[in-house]
A and B are shown apart, each in its own frame.
Chain A
């Protein structure tokens, strides 16, 4: 297959940069959580004091990583699809299937964003604070969550439009952008770590 240079539209490039920042922040929060958990366990078993609230923060970290990582995952073909039937179809039928997959994902993402924002609005209206030692104002974690869902919804809408545009203007490139992840892409994911000098 001749690979045409895969030009990503300007808007999607910007979204990619943004989503990468979100994903890195989410990843860093996971690492910090691990450190916090260790401190908590250490304090609990050595000093007999509990830091309180690690589990609560853990929940927020998951919500943060799970929502703010969605867009980055999409742009890196991380949301799985089953391609057994797809890969056997002629391109004329494959392309609409790829567009349909993006479109339905956009519908789901919008549904999620709508309900997340609704939940957040309610939290703000009641000024909800958690009934825990941390007394977290719930709008903070839920705000990040709704933001992540919102960015995901916008991303899916952009990719859907891009997929439709490609189907009309450059049908041979739809699969490159919106086909399911190929196995070699999946393996590369594990191999792309820069190997340092320490490799023996």
Chain B
């Protein structure tokens, strides 16, 4: 139906439309409509209404507003702030001291929220004032906050994994479980870098200071319970097979409200903000998804996935070489595209290639999310860099960029590890 040139032209057009600043959904939609119109006239417009209803009325995707709402309630209810303080009590003595708090707090926060932006903004807001009093290297503080926040989309629940699962028909439960091990390895790598570096150059960390007295620490220890409860409730009900990911999200929302009510922070003003924010994120995501599902449909009718995978099969490259090429490609794309847009736009083309090379859909999902993590912290467009810079409120964004570099290398190292030992990703 269409040659490889056609596919390349379509993708190039998509990039151009994105770069001239059309809304992401509109760019995807325009390419789809144009493709449909050139090859089929208006025949392929007719199924649009039915498809849109199908996309919106999809129980898998219902997990998105629920998980977003859960995260919103927990952040606005002050759960994160308390958790951060409780963690910093214990991590002080490590080499690199409080820098580890940023990573662990991000890891824990990632487990109760599916968004990196939320993680960066929340952790950053608590972190900077704490660190300024203690003479830490601002570059490292910024770097740890921005990089730690990327864990938000890898460690379940993750909005990106839900979207990937819905587009490729992959079990979201399997994706969530598969994200845990790489997420923890990555957090460990981040902490390793901090520890090693601060031994080599102790100036990056401030004085260790004294541990808070035990009764005080013990009292704050209970602030670690809410995130733990949420994680156990959500992942436990998925893993234990009692609930689908969507149902688990619903249970998570109710649990989050109860916990926040225990803190005395459940009120109408807070709920209203959380609801509006949830609806904004949901509508934003769904508009892109409506366009993406339609684009996938058109690409499928045009036979693009088959053409691309045949083209790649004919090249006869080693899987690992192909993987290397893809990593380079995603690194470049990630510099210019928003992470979510990059993921959605490339799935229909890249997934057939990976399938051809024998990778499992779950493996590719985790790989793709890690590529998104890179995109979040690569200049000039990395969203986390700017969020952290904005929260920091002084100096130049270059400091944040310098700060994330060691962590960027960690992510690449983990990708290499997963490429060589695909078994690290279950499924």
Contacts and interface: CB of A to CB of B under 8 A. Distances in A.
A14 interface: no
A84 B19 CA distance: 7
B251 A38 contact: yes
B221 interface: no
Nearest to A180: B21
B61 interface: yes
Interface in B49-83: 49-50, 52-53, 56-59, 61-62, 64-66, 69, 75-76, 78, 82
A61 to B, nearest CB: 7
Interface string A39-52: 01100010000000
B144 interface: no
B273 interface: yes
B21 A85 contact: yes
Interface in B246-276: 246-247, 249-251, 253-254, 263-265, 267, 269-276
B401 to A, nearest CB: 14
A80 B66 contact: no
Contact of A100 (B19, B20, B121): B20
Nearest to B264: A198
B406 interface: no
Contacts, number: 251
B247 A37 contact: yes
Contacts of B270: 193-194, 196
B94 interface: no
Interface string B329-354: 00000001110110000000000000
Interface residues on A, range: 35 or more
A139 interface: no
Nearest to B18: A82
A112 B290 contact: yes
Contacts of B242: 41, 45
Contacts of B22: 81, 100-101, 104-105
A81 B265 contact: no
B2 interface: no
A30 B282 CA distance: 10
Between B263, B265, B381, the greatest number of chain A beta carbons within 10 A of the residue's beta carbon is seen for B265
Contacts of B23: 79-81, 101, 104-105
A65 B66 CA distance: 11
Contacts of B251: 34, 37-38, 41
A163 interface: no
B133 to A, nearest CB: 17
B219 to A, nearest CB: 11
A69 B283 contact: yes
Contacts of B247: 37, 40-41, 54
Nearest to B246: A58
B198 interface: no
Interface in B1-42: 18-26, 29-30, 33
B116 interface: no
B214 to A, nearest CB: 19
A108 interface: yes
Nearest to B279: A69
A149 to B, nearest CB: 8
Interface of B: 18-26, 29-30, 33, 45, 48-50, 52-53, 56-59, 61-62, 64-66, 69, 75-76, 78, 82, 117-118, 121-122, 125, 237, 242-243, 246-247, 249-251, 253-254, 263-265, 267, 269-284, 286-288, 290-291, 336-338, 340-341, 380-381, 386-387, 389-391
Given A33-B62, A81-B21, A116-B49, 7 more contacts: A23-B283, A27-B274, A41-B237, A82-B337, A82-B341, A115-B52, A193-B274
12 contacts: A23-B279, A24-B272, A26-B275, A27-B275, A37-B247, A38-B250, A68-B279, A79-B23, A111-B48, A116-B49, A119-B50, A192-B273
Closest 8 CB pairs of A and B: A27-B275, A37-B250, A69-B283, A115-B49, A34-B253, A66-B286, A119-B49, A69-B279
